[in-house]
Structure 1
Amino acid sequence: MTPQESFAMPPSVPAGMTLELARARVLDGKESLVREWMQMLNARYDECVATLAVERAAFEAWFLRTETDGRTWIYHVGLTGNDGAPLDVDSQLDADHLAYAKQVKEKGWERLEPVFLLAPGHIMRAMTQWGAEGCET
C-alpha cells in the first residue's frame, strides 16, 4: 500500500513499526468485483501468508462498508515493520492482487491517523519481532 501521507506513530506503536488504517472508494458498479477480489485472496490464503515475512506484516485485515449514500468503501488495516518490502509484482499473487485493485477502487488511499494500539505484552513482542525480522523465534 502506498501511503499518500505519513503520520507519526503514537507511543503505543513499537519503534520501527507502522500502524495503518486506510480506505479507498470502490468504483461504481465494481462492488461484485471487489468481493471477487477478496474471495481470490481467501482462496489463496497460504500464498498470502507467505508474503507476510517479506512485507514484515504482523497482520492485515480488509473490510467493506456501504455508506447510506450507496457508495462502497474498502478498508485496509495492518501493522508492519518499517523495513518490509512492498508488493512484488513478479509474484503472481501480488500481480493478481494489484490488477484487482486497479479495476475496482479509486486510485490511492485515504489514510487515517493512528493514535493508539493495544495488545497483550506477549502478542506485542511477537508482532514487534516479526516486524523487525519477518520470522518466528
Structure 2
Amino acid sequence: MVRVELTRFRIKKGKEEKAQEWMDFLNSHHEDTVATMKNEEMYVENVFKEENADGYTYFYWYSVQGENGQAVEESDNYIDKKHIEYWDECVDNTYRPVDMVLEENLIAPAIQKIIEKEG
C-alpha cells in the first residue's frame, strides 16, 4: 500500500533566502539525498515553491511513499540532519500546514509493481 501526500508549508518571513539555500543544498547533493529515500520507503518526493500574493513563500511537498518507512527525524544521515536543521529554521510553525485531500490516485501498473517489489 502506498501513501500519496501533498502538504503546503509556509516559510517564515525573512527566511526566504535560507529556504532557497535549503533546496539548493538538497539539489546539489542529489545522489546522497536520493540514497536517503530507501530507509524512508519514499518512492517519489517533489517540492514546489509558491511566492504568494499574501507576501509569504510556501513550499508544497508531494510524496509517494510506503507506510513503514523510517522517519527523517530518526535518521543519522548527514543529509537528513541538515534537512531538519533547515526545516527548523525556515518553516513557520505558527502556520498550520495544509494537507491537500487526495481525490484520485493513478499509478501506472508497471510503476506499482516496482513499488510493491521495493516495499
Query: TM-score, normalized by length of structure 2?
Result: 0.89
Distance 1:89 1:56, change over 3 A: closer
Q: Alpha-carbon deviation of 1:104? A: 0.7
Task: Flag structure 2 segments of 5+ consecutive residues without an equivalent.
Answer: none
Query: Is 1:98–2:96 an aligned residue pair?
Result: no
Whether the 8 Å CA contact 1:24–1:110 is kept in 2: the answer is yes
Whether the 8 Å CA contact 2:8–2:97 is kept in 1: the answer is yes
Q: Deviations over 1:46-92 (max 9, x none)?
A: 11111111111111000110111221101100011001111134221
Whole-Å separation in 2 of the counterparts to 1:75 and 1:123 = 23
Whole-Å separation in 1 of the counterparts to 2:16 and 2:82 = 17
Whether the 8 Å CA contact 2:36–2:77 is kept in 1: the answer is no
Query: Is 1:67–2:55 an aligned residue pair?
Result: no
- Structure 1 runs of 4+ aligned residues shifted over 3 Å read none
Query: TM-score, normalized by length of structure 1?
Result: 0.78
1:88-127 matches, cutoff 5 A: 88-107=74-93, 109-127=97-115
Q: Which has the higher helix share?
A: 2
Aligned residues: 116
Q: Deviations over 1:1-27 (max 9, x none)?
A: xxxxxxxxxxxxxxx211100111110
Cα RMSD of the aligned pairs, angstroms, is: 1.4
Identity of aligned residues (%): 26
**Corresponding position of 1:26:** 11
Counterpart of 2:104 in 1: which secondary structure? coil
